[in-house]
Amino acid sequence: MASKFQAPRGTFDVLPEQARSRARLERAATTIFSRAGYEPIATPAFEDTALFERGVGKSTDIVRKEMFTFEDKGGRSLTLRPEGTASICRAYLEHGMHKLAQPVKLSYLGPFFRHERPQAGRYRQFHQLGAECIGADSPLADAEVIMLLSDLLAELGVPGVELRLGSLGSFEARRAYLDDLKAHLHDHEGELSQDVRERIDINPLRAFDSDDEGTRGVMATAPTIVGQLEGEDAEHFEEVRALLDAAGISYVVDSTLVRGLDYYTRTIFSFVCDQLGAQSEIGGGGRYDGLIEQLGGKPTPAVGFAAGIERILLALDEEVPAPGRDVFVAIADPEQRGQAMALAVELRGAGFSVEVDLAGRGLKGQLKHADRIGARQVLILEADGGAQLRDMKTGEQRAADTGKLVEEMTGGES
């Protein structure tokens, strides 16, 4: 009977057959993070609303339109986290992590929430995995976090991936650039879409993202920040590029790359995948040298990324088969239920995957069920107290000694 309830709009259930490829992805990510010394961190699913307003930026779509914000019973404004970086910087400050050896390298994996219009690859509750390297200004740190994501996508075998790389320069360079860009947009106001025109002074970079034909024409001749990088900003970008070249990681420099968060300085990057349609960004990130200070700490350089778990899974489009079971314990007589359970517990303790019949089937039904769940062997407890071990692949059956089951199971090899 179908329930009258459904998962809320923009959310989804992860069913067991989907959980397997998810688990494979999570294992691969955890291994890659830990091999590079990125320790796991977990932060709450909700934070003070002001943290995201301050961290992500009041002019961004995320803060303006997409946050799940609510008042708690104490009248505090809280928000379900739309992203992880601001929370992790808050935790870094709150726990005095600046006193640890720098940089502090952290990794995370969990649910995030944005009130967006749902479509393939875009949800209201989605999952990210990410890494943040806080306290290093070296281009090596930028290259390292890019390599972590590149390695993960390669290890999983995600097809059709392209890395796009850009730089926004320091805050000062970015401010000067934004003035030039605004001037260019004001010069061509009549050709811009209404949405872009209204936001020239709030968020001019968004114009690069526009699908509107008139706006695209204006942007084709707009100044780009990569073209204007100077001094240390230009050097930093050059070094990041040289490190990626040396590591054999291919990328395209995209001078129109913009990201939907305000905290970025210098390096920004985006991994896109041609299997994904409109929501083609699998993951991205960049440097955010001003964020910790913005949140009340000392100036602290940092860089990181996050990738969308659902988007990686969509691009992989794989089915991981059910693992099967080592043993199914079948009973000829309900009297043997206690013994069956005890044997199952003993075998599970020895590392085997074991199921017993929980549905009160007859012996024939139990063998059928064992086959259905992919059991490799069935231990049949016979009515006369004997036991048989049946190999489900060959159909061979032999007498088994329930006192020496672990040896029996491994064919006497243990």
Per-residue interface string for the shown chain with ligand HAM, residues 311-330, x marking contact by CB under 6 A: x-------------------
> Smallest gap, in angstroms, from Cβ of residue 44 to ligand HAM?
16
Given the complex with ligand HAM, which of 93 and 176 has the nearer CB atom? 93
* DSSP code, position 325: E
CA angle 404, 409, 411 (to 5 degrees): 95
130 contributes a contact to ligand HAM by CB under 6 A: yes
Answer for which of 305, 357, 378, 387 binds ligand HAM (CB under 6 A) is 305
Distance CA 261, CA 63 (A): 9
Distance CA 13, CA 19 (A): 10
Beta bridge partners of 306: 130, 284
Given the complex with ligand HAM, which of 301 and 352 has the nearer CB atom? 301
Given the complex with ligand HAM, which of 308 and 329 has the nearer CB atom? 308
Residue environment code for 272-285, b if the CB has 16+ CB neighbours within 10 A, otherwise e: bbeebeebbbbbbb
Number of residues that bind ligand HAM (CB under 6 A): 29
123 contributes a contact to ligand HAM by CB under 6 A: yes
Given the complex with ligand HAM, which of 57 and 130 has the nearer CB atom? 130
61 contributes a contact to ligand HAM by CB under 6 A: no
Q: Which stretch binds ligand HAM (CB under 6 A): 150-158, 181-189, 255-263, 356-364?
A: 255-263
Distance CA 274, CA 393 (A): 42
309 touches 130 (CB < 8 A): no
* DSSP code, position 211: -
Answer for which of 57, 103, 139, 283 binds ligand HAM (CB under 6 A) is 283
| Alpha-carbon Rg for the chain in angstroms | 28
Which single residue brings its beta carbon nearest to ligand HAM? 308
240 contributes a contact to ligand HAM by CB under 6 A: no
108 touches 84 (CB < 8 A): yes
Distance CA 231, CA 338 (A): 77
Beta bridge partners of 106: 39, 132
Given the complex with ligand HAM, which of 127 and 390 has the nearer CB atom? 127
133 contributes a contact to ligand HAM by CB under 6 A: no
276 touches 314 (CB < 8 A): yes
Answer for which of 128, 167, 300, 366 binds ligand HAM (CB under 6 A) is 128
Q: Which stretch binds ligand HAM (CB under 6 A): 221-229, 236-244, 306-314, 359-367?
A: 306-314
> In 250-332, which ranges are E strands?
252-253, 265-273, 281-287, 302-308, 325-331
> Smallest gap, in angstroms, from Cβ of residue 214 to ligand HAM?
27
Q: Where in 260-279 is the site for ligand HAM (CB under 6 A)?
A: 260-261
Distance CA 329, CA 322 (A): 19
Q: Which stretch binds ligand HAM (CB under 6 A): 38-46, 160-168, 285-293, 387-395?
A: 285-293
Answer for which of 292, 307, 378, 380 binds ligand HAM (CB under 6 A) is 307
Look-up of token digits 């019949």: 357
CA distances to 75, 141, 207 from 136, in Å: 38, 6, 32
Instruction: Dihedral sign for Cα 93, 99, 103, 107, please.
Output: negative
Per-residue interface string for the shown chain with ligand HAM, residues 70-99, x marking contact by CB under 6 A: -------------xxx--------------
Answer for which of 57, 284, 290, 301 binds ligand HAM (CB under 6 A) is 284
Distance CA 157, CA 137 (A): 31
Which phi and psi (to 5°) does residue 324 adopt? 75, 180
> In 157-264, which ranges are E strands?
161-167, 252-253
Q: Which stretch binds ligand HAM (CB under 6 A): 27-35, 97-105, 157-165, 301-309?
A: 301-309
> Smallest gap, in angstroms, from Cβ of residue 81 to ligand HAM?
10
310 contributes a contact to ligand HAM by CB under 6 A: yes
Residues within the interface to ligand HAM (CB under 6 A): 83-85, 114, 116, 121-123, 126, 128, 130, 132, 259-261, 281-286, 288, 304-308, 310-311
